[in-house]
Each structure stands twice: as structure tokens, then as C-alpha cells.
A = this chain, B = another copy of it.
């Protein structure tokens, strides 16, 4: 999407030197827009591990480009061994991100086929495959937008052209993928089609991805929005100020339970109480067809308490500082995600279309996953 009026993806090959991968440094957002060069597997490892890039789709694409750099680095005589070592290094950066291992393995399959080709051809094959992975991610997200915008259009028609107010939690925009995003893709599609949309941006404590990333990307693309505390959404829904909620997901079971950033469930419960439609947007890769009951089966990561005890931002003088918001002796707990049971979800939006958040609905879009028992909860 656009930054300062120019189109960007979150990752690309440098225009003047296609052995260099470039990314947006998401750690510097929203206070500065820095582009970083990644020239080695070690650069890529650090970029993923230290969260210069984040979001399932973008992590996968970054790892794919990392494997391309691994080919450039690999010794002539030790090609396969070097490649496997790089694959291991990359996979170990963030072990829970499923797209990461998937992208690295897909690169390995391609490169095993290329093992006996001349070096220049190996590099070309690797580059083409990494770009294909990035392109496919962007294209999936673009198609989520094409499907999802129909929901917004229907609300806009019902409101006779009045602004459609959409609440989102965390960042599931283009910064989390290669382009477009999942939850925000329908929003961008609506805005680009000239529909009047306005986004309520949950700040999303403790890491404030809403305040720092969602607000930034919507602002850069020109989509009207307001930042709100995570506490405000219920009040807005009670007063008819939210027409729909749309979030991303970290994992969705075959029965439609959705794990997403902590706090998503509170918005879903309030949406149900107030009759506000609640949608979850996700690329197909986010489905976990092996799981059924999200509350029982999806493991919820507990993260460091310091994320709750401290907040980072920019001081008046422009310096980045971290401040402690509680007494020195206060302990904190910090679960990263929660699970919204399927019964709270109006629909799921993937690149294949929109379906009910139920096994039947999901298998309608994914008939190849039909083997297996039915859901035991509703």
C-alpha cells in the first residue's frame, strides 16, 4: 500500500542490486520510516528474531528471501549442507510462526531440484521461488479484500452512503503481510473504491500494534481513522457507532474457533451482545485443520511481564524512551492471545471467499479437508 504517496510492499529486492533484500524497519514505526538492507542469512535471522519484520505472511516471505541469500552464500562443494544449515538457522528464529517453516521447506524442495545446476541458475531459481512466495502472499491478501469489500458495500448500501464504521484490533494490515493485509484488505479495497469508511483503531496493549502500526498504515494510505483505548469498543457498540468488527487471526481451527491477539474475545463478546457483525479475515495458511476446539487445543503463549509494566514511545524531544507505568514491586501477567469461539464469529473471510465459522462452512470452501470427525462443540 502507499507510504508518502508511493506504493510499497513490506519486502522487496533492491532495484539496483537484486542480491540485496530490502525491508521496512517495523521497530522504528511509527516514529520513523527506515528501509533496511538484508545482505546475508545472518541479517535475515536478526530481522525476524528481533522483529524488524513481524506478521505471519511477512515472516514467511522474509524467510524465503533468506533462503535465496543462503544460495548466494553457499559454498560450491558444500551447497546442500550449507543450505540445510541456513534453513535450520532461519527456522529457529521464531518457532511458533507456521508460515516460517512452510516457506523455508518450500524453498528447500525447489533448491534440492537445482542442486546440480550451475551456480547462476541456482540463484535464479531461488530468486524466482522467493518472489513467487511473496507474490502469492500479496495476491491472497488482495483476494481477501475482493471478497470482504462486499460486506462493507452491503452495509454502506443499508446506510445509504453514510460512513461505515469498522473496528479492528491489533495490526492485520499490509505491514503483517507482503501487501494489502488480511483484516485491513477489505478496508483498503472499500476506500480505494470510493466508499466512505472510518476505522476505530484499538491501541492493542501491551505492545500497541494498533497505535504504532495500524494507525500508521491507515494514515499513510489516507483511510480515515481514530485511535481508541482497548476499553472503548463496548461503549461504541452500545451507541451504534460500530457497523462491523474485523480482525485477523493467528490460528483458526476446522470448527471456526479463532486465536488472535489478546483482547479480541472481549470485542467479540460485546459485538454479540450488541448485534454487531464480527468477521475474521485470514489467508488459508492460517487454518489449522488438525484442531477442533480452540479453547482447549490452541496453546496460548505467555510473554514477558515487562511488556505490561513498560510502554515505549517518543518523547517531546523526539527520543525513543521506555517508561514504567506501575510500582517497582508490581508483578504482571501477559498472555499474548485469546480464543474467540466460533459462535461469536459472523463469518470468516479467506482468499477463497466468505464462509460461516463452522466446520460445515469451512469445508464448503476447503472440501479437500473433509476427512476427519465433526466438531464436538458449537
Contact = CB atoms under 8 A, between A and B. Distances in A.
A338 B308 contact: no
A230 B269 contact: no
Interface residues of A, number: 63
A308 B204 CA distance: 12
A203 B238 contact: no
Contact of A229 (B230, B272, B300): B230
B269 A229 contact: no
A235 B269 contact: no
Contacts of A160: none
A231 B314 contact: no
Interface in A191-215: 203-206, 208, 211-212, 215
A27 interface: no
A64 B268 CA distance: 45
A257 to B, nearest CB: 11
A231 B211 contact: no
Given A219-B330, A270-B266, A325 B208 contact: yes
Nearest to A329: B219
B234 A263 contact: yes
Contacts of A229: 205-206, 230, 262-263, 308, 334
Contacts of A6: none
B204 A231 contact: yes
Given A216-B326, A230-B263, A312-B323, 7 more contacts: A215-B327, A219-B330, A227-B332, A229-B263, A231-B266, A235-B338, A311-B323
Interface of A: 30-31, 203-206, 208, 211-212, 215-216, 219, 225-235, 238-239, 261-263, 265-267, 269-270, 272-273, 295, 300, 308-316, 321-327, 329-335, 337-339
